[in-house]
Structure 1
Amino acid sequence: MRSFGRRVPPWSAALAAYLLLAFLLFLPVWLPPGLRTVGGGGGDPFFSSWFIRWFPHAISHGWNPLFTTYLDYPDGVNLMWNGSIALPSVLLAPVTLTAGPMVAYNLLATLGPALSGWCAYLAISRYARNRLAAFFGGALYAFSPFMISQSLGHAHLTMAWAPPLALLLLDELFVRRRRSLWIGVALGALAATQLLTAEEVLAIVAVAAAVGLIVAGLLHRQAVWSRLQPALPALGLAAVVFLVVAAVPLGVQFFGPQRVHGPLQPSNYYVSDLLSFLLPTHAQMIAPAAVTRISDHLAGFGEQTAYLGLPLIALLALAIRRTWHLPVIRWAAIAGGALALLSLGDTLHVARADTHLPLPWALTSAIPLLHEILPVRFSLVVFLMVGLLVAVFVGETMVTAGWRPRLVGALAVGLSVAALFPAVPFLTSPLGAPGFFSRPSALHALSEGSVILVAPFAVVGTANAMYWQAEAGMWFRMPEGEAFVPSPYPLYPPPSATEFALVRLADGSVPLAAIDAGVASQIRDDLRRWHVQAIVVGPMPHRDQAVSLLSAVLGRAPSSGDGVDVWWDVPKTLAQIDPSSRSRPATTVVATGTVTPPSAW
């Protein structure tokens, strides 16, 4: 057993441990696989599973995978503006094509924290006194509130291996003064792969690297400036490698069709509230209901990522106080504090109230694209600094301190782990595409690439149709989708009568009785403009009303089976509708699904 232990490299043991912890955290989605998804279904997980399925489909057909008309047909979607996960989609293609897109997504969600934590372990090992301390620091990063919260819907953001690996490479370049041009190649390749995995993480890394270099320059002015010039060749090569690899994706994003202009998200909304650092959320095991009623609304929907907790804050204070003499502690403490300050956004928020006190991030408002970073997501690199600080302190305490300081340190570490421990069992959601999509024999009666209108209409927060499309092997296109496109409303397609009617019927904001014949006529115009071949209504709220509306629009009832209602031969039906009917008295669809004159109201 001892000889076996000696033969196992520490880095491989650490990787295995992180993978095991991640697997245990997400265990419900693997018992058995394919029946549940990590996080809440219906929105971002479904979009990610759609992207994972789209990429191999596009490549197999020889299409540009970074642009699609399979959503928001006919205009399409520029996927580089929509959280492109191109690289994971390629790597996961064998899983996607054999086990399905949602199994591949769950694998992505499981691997993200584990691989990110392992990369943090590799970086922190440079500074911590022993491997156990480095492992704990990596675990703080891997299973931080940022990672746990983003796993609920943005699994690609947990593939955050670039921050620790960038720290490792920049340490090689500036601290250890390695002059190998391979460092430049590695930096450029790292940036390009992160671009194709989670573009926002790359932007966060760029800002964090700038902050780190500024802090290092302030602490060691002569040393940094004397080392900057020799490092320029490697940095220049990194830029060249990045541009060579990223030229096409960035070209599609900024010069391709359907590029987005203007802000993607509301300004100064997704920020860390001052209380966010102190109050646990539903993502933590220890989270009293009285507290979560406040904390769950502090940082914008789904972005409760900044929580540190009083035990960890006390541990950080203890670590900084006792090991301030170490240069890495001074650097990490100041850089981490600066990044936490950036996470607060343009102005300070306390208990969700905007104090209008200006903060440094407001200076980026004039910098194109940079201000698109959601400030609260700087908590990603804050937790990397936290992991580094704690690991160095734990390593120093284990080696140099007496039993009392060790006991105090162990108690602080234990309380910190308890405060941050994620809520288990982890939130998962059941899956289940109607048989019409999961066993698409009937669907294949249409030629591949035909346009189908699917209800519930896919918009922000309701991407069921996108998941069903992915389950059907991308057999058809849709005039809808949860995606950023040139539109007055984020994550909505350009306004249409069809979207207005179906979305508001589903959310109950407009009753069926309020939708008149004028809207029905506009829906028919939409169907013609979109070249819709068939209409499918699947499981959705107020399904009966959606079926009644579309039956009135087409003047006939659907065929039903395999969990859906279907209207085939839509172009033929539209051609049979008498155009002179527009001059006749208007009709209104009532809740029973019949069509009656307005005078009946």
Structure 2
Amino acid sequence: MTAEGSLEEETVQDTGNAVGLSVVVPARDEERRLGPTLEALVRHLTASGDDWEIVVVDDGSTDATGELVTARRDPRVRLVTAAGTGRGKGHALRLGVAASRGRRVLVTDADLATAPAEVEHLEKALADGHAAAVGSRAVPGATFGDRQHRVRELLGTAGNLLIRATAVRGIRDTQCGFKLFDGDKARAAFAASRVDGWAIDVEVLRYFQRAGWPVAEVPVHWSHRPGSKVRPPDYLRFLRDLARLRTPARADLLAAALFLVLSVALYAGRFFDPAHRYLTDSLQDQNQWEWFFAVTADNVAHLRNPLFTDLQGFPGGVNLMANTAMLGLSVPLTPLTLLAGPAVTLSLVMTLGLAATAAAWYRLIRKRLVDGRAAAFTGAALAAFAPPLVSHANAHPNFVVLFMIPLIVDRALRLCTGDRVVRDATVLGLMAAYQFFLGEEPLLLAALGMLLFAAAHAAARPDVARRAVRPLMRGLAVATAVCLPLVVYPLAWQFSGPQSYDGIEHGTAPGTANSVRALLAFAERSLLAGEAGTADALSLNPTEQNAFYGWPLVLLALAITVLLWRRPAVRALAVTASAAALLSLGPRVELAGVSVPGPWALLDGLPLFESVIESRVALVCAPALGMLLAAAVGRLTEHGVRGAVRYAGLAAVGLALLPLVPAPLRSEPRAEVPAFFTDGTWRSYVRAGETLVPVPLAEPEAAEALHWQTAAGLGFRMPGGYFNGPYGDGDRTGVYGVPLRFTASLLRDARYTGVVPVIDPAAREAAARDLAYWRAGALVLAPQPHADVLRETVDKLVGRHGRRVDGVWVWDLHKSPHG
């Protein structure tokens, strides 16, 4: 059987029933060395008492290699002859393993550099539960007879380092030609291989690792045999094949492309014209996030502190480290922001970030859970495009751009093996530090989810947990030591710097914590089953619909858990999703009209958790449910599953996912920025050290002034704004926006009531104090509802009429009231 699956001419002398051990020997022009090798193998296998066979694959020999085998006339020694000229060791092994019948398969080179007796050590590794055992020259305990030339040893060492760095983790000697496999797993792995050269060893071992089949590396005695056919060009071909193994398969590239298509479709309303389109359901968050990207780029361009600015909230300013400014992206993307504007940067970050997150989950699922691409795609699509993630896609890039989370999970799992702990822990520490600058709350929720999974998996596999706990704890200590120096100063600034705060109290409004109904209902942005009224009533707002997985998916997840209960990973994933859902119900849970303590009460008020919106914990359910779906689809698409069962199962998956398919996010044309800001007219009214005061001041409910400031190139400061900061006057309780001074509160009331307030001398005096506190150079009123009421209010407060300039009303505070 070729790599492409077509039939090839071959000679097989016997087919019979299964045997205990198959020995596969690839051979090309091995007339001189093959005879003694077969004699030694037959002698050892006969003495072992096991039933056996030897399969020699003649890969286009030009000498009497094939005749050596057929001349033995032993039905247990079979010849497989490949058609055509020699295509390489990989091709030969693929044919030989496919022709094997053994419950175990030993692969050995024709030179028999490792004696047959060494197979006993490999047999013990398989008896201990491993799916494969690699005879290794690179682990403690290995011994040597005659050694290779020093140059060959150096080339081998360099090759192994490259392999471990790029393709196969934890195995030091992939290229030793003496390996024992579980027979069925070997036939599956070699059948899936595509490499014809030496790199097939790497490809097959990588297949075992991705399938979760444990591989042991066993020390052996090895002696160099003269007559090696490896030449310098072969090393180049090996590097070429290794590079091909690292190149994503077309199907993987297609999966990534489909994720990008899904992301662009979701953002279609804004993606193609980000500067002039606004996501309706983002409320004021799009203005805020564009401002974050703009102010970071401005700070970097002017070599200012990227952790602070006084462009908003003057004179106190904004602690950007305490406001999720996503410095991990906003800083490196400074050139793009300066060139194309923050609207373009934010649009690309959210669109590409969502697709990258799905691709990262796809990679993790394929590597750790299932090998099937369709199964991995299904799971990753739910992990990245689940209803709560689509809700956050309106306005919160820190909960959309999560591509680092799957990488962190994978690196943490590597620590459990005990191989290269320091290296993996160092990488983990760097990854965690980078995610810290993308979003701390997603990192906290990911850590919570990983802790839940670890506890559940330890309960399911205590033997595995006992082996993993020491390297894991050691690795986490190293990772912490790497991460902390990188984040300690930003953390100190966040919690102790200017405009820092202790925590934000979110209250008990509907949606702060989930209800059971929210977990089972359908999301507002569902293409086929959207329930806008229900979703609005059960959530804080359209950007915080943190559950809404739908009852069909919940029932399907329960069925998957029951049917695949024997798999420890399935049990752990089910517990993780269930625990996260329970925690998201908050500190008090309503059951049949009775309020009872919820699991979140154990965490409520603890440091770090004090600012978390409880309903967001349900975001942890998305990847857990996605992996459960991937496990189910992977099982349904395995060979041997009956057609009726397969189609019924896949139909159930489709029916559960169909109501979750999101509709494109709503968007609308963006209001034009008044020419007063875009043409630079504002410069005539704001002197150095002064602020421009929008009427009314910017706040979380109305932050369009942030967009004006961005359009003006961040050339002026302003009081008020939309950010997180302390309440003030010694109270470090976190609030959204700035505590309202008298004038800000007065103007806000006028906008919302449409009534001109009573303006007396005391009010004018208070306004004068506020304007002096803000160092105001001018007040500006742009077109908006109740603009006439606001204009009359300001006229009375400052004692003169405003002036119409470039589309806005302006009150120049440098002029006297009678000027």
* TM-score calculated relative to the size of structure 2: 0.66
Alignment check: 8 A CA contact 1:37 1:106 kept: no
SS in structure 1 of the partner of residue 378 of structure 2? helix
**Contact in 1 for aligned 2:691/2:719 (Cα 8 Å):** yes
Aligned ranges for residues 437-586 of structure 1 at < 5 Å? 439-445=678-684, 446-447=686-687, 450-487=690-727, 490-508=735-753, 511-568=755-812, 570-573=813-816
Instruction: Work out whether residues 526 and 659 of structure 2, in 8 Å CA contact, stay in contact via their aligned partners in 1.
Output: yes
- Does the residue aligned with 1:91 lie in a helix, a strand or coil? coil
Instruction: Give, in whole Å, the separation in 2 of the partners of 1:300 and 1:107.
Output: 27
Residue 447 of structure 1: CA displacement?
4.6
Per-residue CA distance 1:100-133 (angstroms, 9 max, x = gap) = 2122222222123212111111111121130121
Contact 2:313 2:738 in 1 (8 A): yes
CA distance in 2, matches of 1:58, 1:185: 30
Q: 1:95 pairs with 333, 336, 359, which one?
A: 336
Per-residue CA distance 1:188-229 (angstroms, 9 max, x = gap): 122222221122111112222222222222222343133211
Offset at 1:75?
Answer: 1.1
Q: 1:172 aligns with which of 389, 402, 414?
A: 414
Equivalent position amino acid for 1:410 in 2 = L
Residues 91-490 of structure 1 correspond to what in structure 2 (within 5 A)? 91-125=332-366, 126-174=368-416, 176-266=417-507, 270-287=512-529, 291-302=531-542, 303-349=544-590, 355-400=594-639, 401-424=641-664, 426-436=665-675, 439-445=678-684, 446-447=686-687, 450-487=690-727, 490=735
Partner of 1:60: 301
Separation of aligned partners in 2, 1:178 and 1:38: 47
TM-superposed deviation, 1:501: 1.2
Distance 1:561 1:304, change over 3 A: same
Q: How far 1:433 moved relative to its partner?
A: 4.1
Moved more, 321-330 or 484-493: 484-493
Per mean C-alpha deviation after superposition, the further-off stretch among 181-190 and 64-73 is 181-190
Aligned-partner SS, 2:573: helix
- CA drift of 1:437 comes to 5.6
Higher Rg of the two aligned structures: 2
Q: Which amino acid aligns with 1:161?
A: F
Of Structure 1 and Structure 2, the greater helix share is in 1
In 2 relative to 1, CA 256–292 (structure 1 residues): closer, same or farther, beyond 3 Å?
same
Deviations 1:497-527 (A, max 9, x none): 121111111112x720434442232112111
Per-residue Cα deviation, 1:228-250 (whole angstroms, up to 9, x for no partner): 11233321221122112212210
Percent identity reads 29
Q: CA deviation at 1:556?
A: 2.3
In structure 2, the residue corresponding to 1:178 is in which secondary structure? coil
The one-letter amino acid paired with 2:354 is P
Q: CA deviation at 1:9?
A: 4.8
Q: How far apart in 2 are the matches of 1:221 and 1:109?
A: 41
Aligned partners of 1:347 and 1:354 also within 8 Å: no
The alpha carbon displacement at 1:318 in A equals 2.6
Q: Distance in 2 between matches of 1:18 and 1:131?
A: 13
Question: Structure 1 552/173 Cα, relative in aligned 2: closer, same or farther at 3 Å?
Answer: same
Shift of 1:394: 0.1
- In the alignment, is the contact (CA less than 8 A) between 1:285 and 1:421 conserved in 2? yes
Distance 1:554 1:15, change over 3 A: same
Unpaired runs of at least 5, structure 2 = 5-193, 195-243, 729-733
Distance 1:461 1:513, change over 3 A: closer
Give the aligned residue type for 2:268: L
Structure 1 residue matching 2:512: 3-state secondary structure: coil
Distance 1:525 1:449, change over 3 A: closer
Question: Counterparts of 2:579 and 2:536 in 1: how far apart (Å)?
Answer: 24
Cα deviation, 1:415-463, whole Å, max 9, x if unaligned, reads 1221101123x21132234233652321233456631101232112211
- Counterpart code for 2:758: A
Higher mean alpha-carbon deviation, 203-212 vs 267-276, is at 267-276
How far apart are 1:139 and its partner, in Å?
0.5
SS across alignment from 1:490: strand
- Is the alpha carbon distance of 1:451 and 1:347 closer, same or farther for their aligned partners in structure 2, counting shifts above 3 Å? same
CA distance in 1, matches of 2:616, 2:795: 46
Say whether the 8 Å CA contact 2:526–2:661 is kept in structure 1: yes
In structure 2, how many angstroms separate the alpha carbons of the residues matched to 1:287 and 1:13? 28
* Kept in 1: contact 2:297–2:335 (CA 8 A): no
The 8 Å contact of residues 781 and 808 in structure 2, kept in 1 or not, is answered as yes
CA shift digits 1:243-294 (9 cap, x unpaired): 1221221011112011113434225851111001221132212236xx5423
Measure, in 2, the Cα distance between the counterparts of 1:112 and 1:539.
35
Aligned equivalents of 2:679, 2:488: Cα separation in 1:
38
Alignment RMSD: 2.5
Partners of 2:282 and 2:747 in 1: CA distance: 20
C-alpha contact (below 8 Å) 1:469/1:476 kept by paired residues:
yes
Deviation at 1:86, TM superposition (A): 1.4
Pairwise CA distance, 1:354:
7.2
Does structure 2 retain, via aligned residues, the 8 Å contact 1:451–1:534? Answer: yes
Q: 1:355 to 1:59 in 2, by over 3 A?
A: farther
Between structures 1 and 2, the one with greater strand share: 2
Give the Å deviation of 1:393: 0.9
Taking the aligned partners of 1:159 and 1:76, their CA distance within structure 2 comes to 27
Q: Whole-Å Cα distance in 1 between the matches of residues 329 and 279 of structure 2?
A: 17
Which residue identity is paired with 1:548?
E
1:397 to partner: Cα distance: 0.6
SS in 2 for 1:172: helix
Aligned AA for 2:608?
L
Counterpart code for 1:428: S
State the distance in 2 between where 1:433 and 1:251 align.
40
**Distance verdict in 2 for CA 1:388–1:262, change over 3 Å:** closer
CA distance in 1, matches of 2:671, 2:383: 33
The CA deviation at 1:479 is: 0.9
Checking the alignment, whether the CA contact within 8 Å between 1:347 and 1:359 is kept in structure 2 is yes
TM score, norm. by length of structure 1: 0.89
Greater RCO (CA < 8 Å, at least 6 residues apart): 1
CA displacement at 1:379 relative to structure 2: 2.1
Is the Cα–Cα contact under 8 Å of residues 347 and 357 in structure 1 kept in the other structure? yes
The answer to whether the 8 Å contact 1:42/1:463 transfers is no
Question: Where do 5+ consecutive residues of structure 1 fail to align?
Answer: 578-601
Question: For residue 764 of structure 2, what is the amino acid of its counterpart?
Answer: A
**Shift, 1:96, TM fit:** 1.8
Length, aligned pairs only: 567
**Would you say the 8 A contact 2:523–2:549 is kept in 1?**
no
